[in-house]
Amino acid sequence: MTSEKTEQNLPDYAVLARYEGVTELVEACKVVRDAGFKKWDSYSPFPVHGIDPAMGIKMTRLPWLIFVMGITGTAFGIWLQWFSNVSAYPFMISGKPLWSLPANIPVAFETTVLFAALTAVFATLAINGLPRFHNPLFTSAAFARVTDDKFFIAIQADDPKYNQSEVMALLQGTGASLVEVVGDDSKKDVEIPTLLKVGLAGSFILGLVPLVMISNSYITETPFTSIHLNPNMDFQEKFKVQSASTLFADGASMRLPVEGTVAMDDLNLDAHLNRGLNPDQSWATTFPKAVTVNAEFMAHGKERFEIFCMPCHGKAGDGTGLIHQRAEKLGETAWTQPTNLHQDFLREQAVGRLFNTISNGIRNMEGYAHAIPVKDRWAIIAYVRALQRSQFASADDLPKDLRGKLQ
Amino acid sequence: MTALTSTEIVNTTDDPGEGRAPLITGAQTFHTVTEIVAGVPEQDRINRNWWIAFAIASTLATCFGASIAYLVWEGVGIWGNNNPVGWGWPIVNFVFWVGIGHAGTLISAILFLLRQKWRTSINRFAEAMTVFAVVCALTFPGIHVGRIWTAYWLLPLPNQMAMWPNFRSPLLWDVFAVSTYGLVSALFWYFGLIPDLATLRDRAKSIFRKIPYAIFSLGWTGSARHWHRYERSYLILAALATPLVLSVHSVVSFDFATSQLPGWHTTIFPPYFVAGAIFSGFAMVVTLAVPCRAFFGMKNLITLRHLENMNKVILATGMMVGYAYSIEFFIAWYGANPAEGFAFLNRAFGPYAWAYWTMVSCNVIAPQFFWFKKVRTTPVLMVIVAIFVNIGMWFERFVITVTSLSRDFLPSSWAYFSPTFFDWFMLLGSFGLFSTLFLLFLRWVPMVAVAEVKATLPQAHVGHQEH
C-alpha cells in the first residue's frame, strides 16, 4: 500500500481512498466532514449532485465577480465609443448628434458579454489553482482512473487533525475499495537553469523590438510614400479625362455632345431673362417677368452678393473688399482695384448690361454664369441697385414716421 | 457505408408501460462511455477513410490559402463582384458560415439552460463546428476589404492618422459581434473540454501523447471544489452565450436591414436571420453527426433519439423561415412601396428566379419530409434532407445579397452578377478549411463530452442501486 513512498522516504502528502460508486462517495464525504477535517477533497469523473452539502462546500461567490466584470465591460464599451466618436475624433454624420445612445447599444452589449465570459473562464481557473501541472496525487497509479470511472477522497497531511494511521482507519471504515498514502514528491528547492533565465529574458527583449519600431513610426514622419509591390492600382486600364484614345477617330477619349442637341434645362429661349437683352438686341432696362422684385428677392440677392461679390467689391460695393485690402497690404503691383459700384456710369447702366457683366465677366473679373443661377444673378442686381441708391439717399427718401429718428 | 445501414437501436418511441426510452443505449457504464469516446483519438492507426477525407480537405484548404494569396496580390477584381453588386459571394459565404456556427452555441447554451439532457451527446461536436465555421466566416470579410494589410483599421486601435472607426455603422457592430462570438465560443468549447482532455491524459500510454494532453488539461483532477466553481461558471457562460447567439445574427442582419436598399430594408431581418441560422446550423450538425457516429462507433451515444430531436428543430425552424419568406412578400405588397414591390417580384420572377426557387424548394419544401417519422429516424434520408437545407441556406444568402444589389433604384445601373473561377474556388476552399479543422478535431479531441454524458447515466445519481 505504501510502496514507492517508503522507498524514497518522502513526507506524506495525503491519504487517498478509492470508492466504486457515487453513493459510497457521498456517504464517505459526510463522515470526513463530520470528523472535522479542513484540508481534504473528493474527486470524481463528473460533477456529483448532492456532494456540496455532503462536503460542506459553501456557494462560490464567483457569480458576483462575473457580474461586476460584466458591468465593467458595459462601461468600457460605452466609454470606448464616446471617447473615439465624440472626444478623440468627433464624427458628424448627416447632421446627427455626436452622441446617440441607441446606436451604441450593440457594441456595449458585446463588450459586456466578452468581459463577463473571459472572467467566468479565467477566474474559475485561477481560483481553482489551475493550471497546476505538478500534483503529488498524480503519482498514485490508482488515481489515473479518477477521470474515467472511480471516485476518490484525499485528506491532506497539512490538515491540523492529520494523523496517518487514524486517517487511514477512518477512511477504511467508509467502504473504500482502496486506501493508500501518497508521498509529497514536490521539489521545493529547485533552481531555474541560468540558460533558461537568459533565454526568457532575451526573447522578452526581442519581443519588444516590433513594439518599439511601431511606436517610433507613430511619432516620426517619413518622406517616402508606401511601396506598391503590384502597381496594378497605379496604372489602370481605363480612359481618364483629357487622355488619348485609339478607339475614336479624333483620338480623344472624351466625347462631345451630338451636334444640334441641347442638354436638359439648357434651352434658354427667353433672351431678357437669360442674356439681359431686349428683342432688338439692346440692353434691357427692366427686370424680366420671370422674377418678382420684392423684399424677399432683395434679401436673397444680399445673401448671394455677400458670398460671390463682397470679397472683391466690399460689403458696401465701393471696391474695397478683403481681397483688395490684402493685396494693398502685400503691396501687389499687378493688382487692379475692383470697380466702385457707386460710380455714375454704373448707377445709370441698364440692368441687362449689369446682368451680362456678372454672367460673362469684364476686364479682370471672371464670369459667374457657372456659379450663380440665372434668377440669383437678377436678385444680386436688385440688391446692387439698392446699394447704389443707399449711397446717394437724402432724408426725404425715408418714410415720414422714421425721419424724426435721424436727428 | 455499410455502417450507415446496419441495425439501429430504436429509442425514439416511449412505451407507456416502460417509461421513457433511454437516451443512451446499450447499458453503458462510466468506463464503457470512456472507452467508446476516448478510443477514437487513441487508435494507433486511424481509419483509412479518415486519411482519404483529410487528403481531399487539406488540398482544398491549401487551394483556399493560395487563392487568398493571389487575391492579396491582384485585388478583388478577381471575383465576379461588379458595380452595383459590390457584395458578391464573399459576403454570401460569410453570412452562410456565421449561420452554420449558430447551432453549436444554441445546442450548448440554450439547451443547457432548458435542461435538455440530449444535448450532452452532440454539444462538443456542435461547438467544434461553431468554432471552425466562425474561422471560415471571419476569413471572408477579412479578405473582402481588399487591402488586407489595413484590415486592422476595423478595430479601435490608436493609429498615426488619429482616426477611429465609426461606431454607428452596423458593419462595425459586426466586427465586435462576430469576434466576440468567435472568442466566447472557443472559450466555451475549451472550458468544456478540460475534464475530457484530462481523461485522455490519464489514459495516455506514451509520454509524447501525455505531454500535450497534460498541458491542455491544465492539471485537472476532478476535485469536487473545482467542479463546484466549474459548474457555476459553465451555467453563467451558457446564460451569456444564449443572448450572444441571438445578438450575433441580428447584428449580421443589420448589415443589410439598416441600409436603404429595397429587399434589405426590412424589420423582419433579425428574427428571420436568427431562425435561418439555427435552421442551417442544425442541418450541418446532422450532416456531420450521421457519418461520424457510424464511422467512429458512437451509435449508442449519439442515438436515433438525438438525431430525431435535431430533425424536429430543423422542421420547426424551416417553417419559421418559410413564414418569413411569405411575410416579406406580404409586406412588400402591403407597404405599397413600388421599389420594394419590384425588388420582390424581381426576386421570384426576374433573372435570379432560378436561385429563388432553388432556395424555396430546399428550405421550405425539403424539411416538410420531416413530418414523416420514417424520414426523421432514417440516417440516410435525414442526411439527404439536411444537405438540401445546407444548399438552400447558401442560396438564401445569395438571393438576399445579389438580387437586391443587382437591380436597385436606377435601371441604368443594373447588372447581372456572374461568379468567376475564384469565387467557386474560395467557396470550395472554405469547405476544405472547415473539413480540415473538423477532421483534426475528430482525430485528436474527444468528440463527445465524456464527463457530461456520464452525468446523465442513471448510476450517476446518489441512491442508484446497481453496480
In this complex, do A45 and B199 lie within 8 Å of one another by their Cβ atoms?
yes
Q: Each residue of A125-151: pLDDT tens digit? A: 999 888 888 888 888 888 888 888 889
* Cα–Cα distance, A195 to B210 (Å, whole number): 26
Select the residue from A57, A58, A124, A145 to test the B interface by mutation, using most B Cβ atoms within 10 A: A124
pLDDT of B117: 80
Strand A40-43 with A151-156, pairing? antiparallel
Provide the mean pLDDT of chain B: 87
Q: Which residue of B has its CA nearest to A123?
A: B233
* Cα–Cα distance, B4 to B299 (Å, whole number): 10
Is-contact B104 B281, C-beta < 8 A?
A: yes
Q: Each residue of B106-125: pLDDT tens digit? A: 778 888 888 888 888 888 88
DSSP A289-321: TTS--SHHHHHHHHHHHHHHTHHHH-TTSSS--
Q: How far is CA B221 from CA A62, B98, B224, in A?
A: 20, 35, 9
Is-contact B372 B429, C-beta < 8 A?
A: no
CA-closest candidate to residue B41, choices B453, B438, B451, B447? B447
Q: Which residues lie across from A182 on neighbouring strands?
A: A14
Peptide bond into A102 cis (omega under 30): no
In this complex, do B164 and A85 lie within 8 Å of one another by their Cβ atoms?
yes
* Cα–Cα distance, B129 to B108 (Å, whole number): 12
Q: Which residue of A has its CA nearest to B36?
A: A148
pLDDT of A394: 76
Provide the mean pLDDT of chain A: 87
Phi and psi of A50, rounded to 5°? 90, 0
pLDDT band at B331 (very low <50, low <70, confident <90, very high): very high
* Cα–Cα distance, B93 to A75 (Å, whole number): 34
* Cα–Cα distance, B246 to B113 (Å, whole number): 15
* Cα–Cα distance, A404 to A401 (Å, whole number): 7
Instruction: Give the range among A330-339, B376-385, B396-405 with minimum mean pLDDT.
Output: A330-339
Other residues' Cβ atoms within 10 Å of the Cβ of residue B76? 17
Is-contact B149 B71, C-beta < 8 A?
A: no
Q: A277 in helix, strand or coil? A: strand
pLDDT of B17: 61
Instruction: Give the range among A250-264, B37-51, B278-292 with minimum mean pLDDT.
Output: B37-51
* Cα–Cα distance, A304 to A321 (Å, whole number): 15
DSSP A131-164: -----GGGG-SGGGGGGTT-EEEEEETTSTT--H
Q: How far is A393 from chain B (nearest CA, A)?
A: 57
Is-contact B95 B134, C-beta < 8 A?
A: no
In this complex, do A49 and B31 lie within 8 Å of one another by their Cβ atoms?
no
Residue A65 has pLDDT above 90, yes or no: yes
Name the burial class of residue A377, with classes exposed (0-12), middle (13-18) and buried (19+) by CB atoms within 10 angstroms of its CB.
buried
Percent of chain A topping pLDDT 70: 97
Distance of CA B390 to the CA centre of its chain: 10
Q: How far is B34 from chain A (nearest CA, A)?
A: 6
* Cα–Cα distance, B143 to B151 (Å, whole number): 8
Q: Which residue of B has its CA nearest to A100?
A: B168
In this complex, do A48 and B225 lie within 8 Å of one another by their Cβ atoms?
no
Q: Which value does ipTM take for this structure?
A: 0.89
Residue type at B254 in one-letter notation: F
Select the residue from B164, B191, B199 to test the A interface by mutation, using most A Cβ atoms within 10 A: B164
Is-contact A360 A319, C-beta < 8 A?
A: no
Q: B169 in helix, strand or coil? A: coil
Q: pTM for the full model?
A: 0.79
Other residues' Cβ atoms within 10 Å of the Cβ of residue B98? 31
Instruction: Give start and end residues of each alpha helix (H) in B377-420.
Output: 379-398, 404-406
